Amino acid sequence: MISKLSEAYGRLISALALFGCLMLLVMMLIIVTDVALRNFAFSGGPQGIGWSNEVSEFILYGVTLCVSPWLLRQGQHIRVDIVLQAIPAKLAWAFEWVGDTLGLACCLIMTFYGVQATWASYTANSLNIKTLVTPEWWSLAPLPFVFTLLSLEMLFRMHRLWLAERGPRNDAVSAA
């Protein structure tokens, strides 16, 4: 049962990561178009895209959020494991549990506060005022969703760790 849920979840976060890649392509096209319009002036045409920096910043934020659950699942997140590779396997396995438990706690806390911040921004009608004027909650709303996904991945990681050999994980190992 858990393995089927994990597979379905894996497909969901893979689709989310693909969406993040598409967002990166869109960001690149916006930036290239903005630079081209500023450097190759067309008579009577626009001299750049005024909102390109602001939208690019938001897209970069969105890409980070979209790919983070997938990166965690792949073991491609930042991981300092030199100590885990040097200590006895069973102790390293216990430290993996400590790390996953702390990671789960952090993700749940971020989910909780993300919901609070999003709701507070929504009820206060807060705005981001730059080149574009947008409701602030638009940028906050993805946080609780993504940290919920990260929390789920932490639980799946813990399940995989329980079933694995008693030792440090073998994914993304930096020391041999």
In whole angstroms, give the CA distance from residue 6 to residue 159.
Answer: 10
Per-residue model confidence as pLDDT tens digits over 79-122 = 777 888 889 999 999 999 999 999 999 999 999 999 999 999 99
How many Cβ atoms are within 10 Å of 39's Cβ, its own excluded? 9
In angstroms, what is the C-alpha Rg of the chain? 21
Sign of CA dihedral 139, 141, 142, 147: positive
Query: pTM to 2 decimals?
Result: 0.86
Contact 84, 170 (CB under 8 A): no
- The average pLDDT across 19-47 equals 90
